[in-house]
Amino acid sequence: MQFLSYYFIILWVLAFALYYLFPKKMQWYVLLAVSLLFYVIGFHGIPYALLITAVTTYACGLYLKKSLETQKAGEAQCSDKEQKKAVKSAFEKKRKRVQIIYFAVNLGLLVFHKYTGNIIMPIGISFYTLTAISYVIDAGRENCEAETNFLKVLLFLSYFPAITQGPFHRFTHMKEQFEAEHEFNYEKMLRGIQRFVWGAFKKLVIADRIGIFADRVFGSDTSAVSGSIYACAVVFYMLQLYADFSGYIDMAAGISETFDIALPENFKRPYFAKSVAEFWRRWHITLGTWFKDYVMFSFVMSAPGRKIGKFCKKKWSLLGKHIVPILGTMLVWFFTGVWHGRTINYMLWGVYYGLIMSLSLVLEAGYPVWKQKLHIKEGKGYQLFCMVRTWAIVFAADVLIRSESLAQAGAVFGAFFTRFHVTALVSSAVTSYGLSKYDFLLLFAALIIWLAVSILEERGNDVRAYLSAKPMPVRWICYYVIVLLLLITGIYGGNYDTAVFLYQSF
């Protein structure tokens, strides 16, 4: 079931009414029931994979809790440090073994469904599997208390606004909110609806419209498309991916907000970033922090990681300190690429970013020195240069993942250099890829609106609060414009299947 469907809207309205009519202590039960109903109605039943993950996550969490308690009790009875260390080590080994089995089962399910290509992939498996793993690791690290109520674990994993595309949420953050008592608040409800509508606008007016052009260009005979049209299509794809995914996140966050549950932010205007590292701190934020906390940190703090680090620092004092972070970075980016897709394009994409980020790590220390030597002042010009540089790096990466094969990616890069033909952008050729001149005009207007909102947000303004403070006629006109644009110019209806989101396939 997609957010942009009649059935979902009806479900949302009913769920909202029940949530605030139910006794406050039971509100989380409503969320759980709706989440399971969301799966049952929308995807014809609750997949066994989700149930296996929920049961194993619950059981593993409880085991870790019990193990830690027993360990502490044992340590309390020890007379010296060596004994305590031995007790701790014994319990840690056992916990590690159980966690390895847990990871094997759940990552195995993920790999089986995602990478074998023969089985229908359960919706959200990429998201709830990593969410579950974060809970187990946090329970093992004592960053959160393991939950004794299975239904709360199930809710955490299956929470319907976030199940299909995230954002990745942490157990502690969500548990508090699920258990809190929520009073109906009209302003919060309005804010949630506003955010939902804004997300739908980005998805249906911008992302899906751009997608028509990008799909046609990349679906055309490679030799017939000029480099400038490819360049336009890639830029469009960059915007499409952003609008589609952030649009979904806005819808998810908006829905959650109406239930007075805040989801973590997942985007912070990534195209304002001045470096690739900053870009990835602004894009799919929760995935980045997940990999940082559970892959990078785990590797760096692991016994092998520390051994390698020690060895490298001894052997190559200057560069040596970077080796472990570089290895961690490459590991993170390799898995990030693999997580996004099973083709070689995605793996290369991951390696590409891994190399860029590793290079940044090594060169970072030298930047202030070079800027001084080259008399570079960090004014607006320099900041613009940094942004454009970041866009160029992202652009090159997106050629890889948008292309249908490595061969096509190669042909696209070739077209940039051998037949750019910039005049194609102002010829009738540009309107032969599914978008009329009216579509381009509309896109331009919609992108201007989006840019204006982004600039306001980048300057620290809460746009919804900013609008709320305006006189009623001004507010209402803004709302009517967005909703009418969405209803009239949105890409939806019998000819389109655009209720599906791009990141859902990841």
Within 259-302, where are the H helices?
Answer: 276-282, 285-291, 297-301
Q: Tokens in use for 371?
A: 């800027």
The correct pick among 107, 388, 487, 500 for binding other proteins (CB under 8 A) is: 487
Q: What is the x/- site pattern for other proteins, positions 179-218, by CB under 8 A?
A: -----x-x--------------------------------
The correct pick among 311, 370, 385, 480 for binding other proteins (CB under 8 A) is: 480
The correct pick among 76, 369, 426, 488 for binding other proteins (CB under 8 A) is: 488
| CA pair distance 275, 307, nearest whole angstrom | 31
Cβ 4 to other proteins shortest distance, Å: 12
The correct pick among 369, 428, 494, 497 for binding other proteins (CB under 8 A) is: 494
| CA pair distance 454, 243, nearest whole angstrom | 12
| CA pair distance 219, 216, nearest whole angstrom | 5
6 binds other proteins (CB under 8 A): yes
Closest by CA to 502, choosing from 112, 165, 233, is 165
Residues in the chain: 506
Closest by CA to 162, choosing from 254, 56, 52, 242, is 254
489 binds other proteins (CB under 8 A): yes
417 binds other proteins (CB under 8 A): no
Contact range with other proteins by CB under 8 A, out of 221-229, 300-308, 379-387, 490-498: 490-498
Contact range with other proteins by CB under 8 A, out of 70-78, 226-234, 269-277, 486-494: 486-494
444 binds other proteins (CB under 8 A): no
Are 156 and 61 in contact by the 8 Å Cβ rule? The answer is no
| CA pair distance 461, 142, nearest whole angstrom | 36
| CA pair distance 483, 197, nearest whole angstrom | 7
DSSP string, 364-379: HTTHHHHHHHTT---S
471 binds other proteins (CB under 8 A): no
Nearer to other proteins, 27 or 67 (CB): 27
Q: Read off φ and ψ for residue 166, nearest 5 degrees.
A: 90, -165
Q: Read off φ and ψ for residue 119, nearest 5 degrees.
A: -110, 150
Site for other proteins in 271-310 (CB under 8 A): none
Cis peptide before 23 (omega within 30 of 0): no
Residue with tokens 């909102």: 453
The correct pick among 223, 317, 428, 436 for binding other proteins (CB under 8 A) is: 436
Q: What is the x/- site pattern for other proteins, positions 143-182, by CB under 8 A?
A: ----------------------------------------
484 binds other proteins (CB under 8 A): yes
Nearer to other proteins, 85 or 475 (CB): 475
User: 150 to each of 13, 42, 146, 147, 194, how far by Cα in Å?
Assistant: 27, 23, 10, 7, 34
Nearer to other proteins, 186 or 417 (CB): 186
Nearer to other proteins, 68 or 435 (CB): 435
Residues 408-440 as b/e (b if ≥16 CB within 10 A, e otherwise) read: bbebbbebbeeebeeebeeeebbeebebeeebe
The correct pick among 438, 465, 466, 474 for binding other proteins (CB under 8 A) is: 438
Contact range with other proteins by CB under 8 A, out of 34-42, 73-81, 250-258, 473-481: 473-481
497 binds other proteins (CB under 8 A): no
3-class state of residue 422 by DSSP? helix
Cβ 488 to other proteins shortest distance, Å: 5
Nearer to other proteins, 120 or 472 (CB): 472
Cβ 429 to other proteins shortest distance, Å: 20
- Tell me which residues touch other proteins (CB under 8 A): 6, 184, 186, 436, 438, 442, 472, 476, 479-480, 483-484, 487-490, 492-495
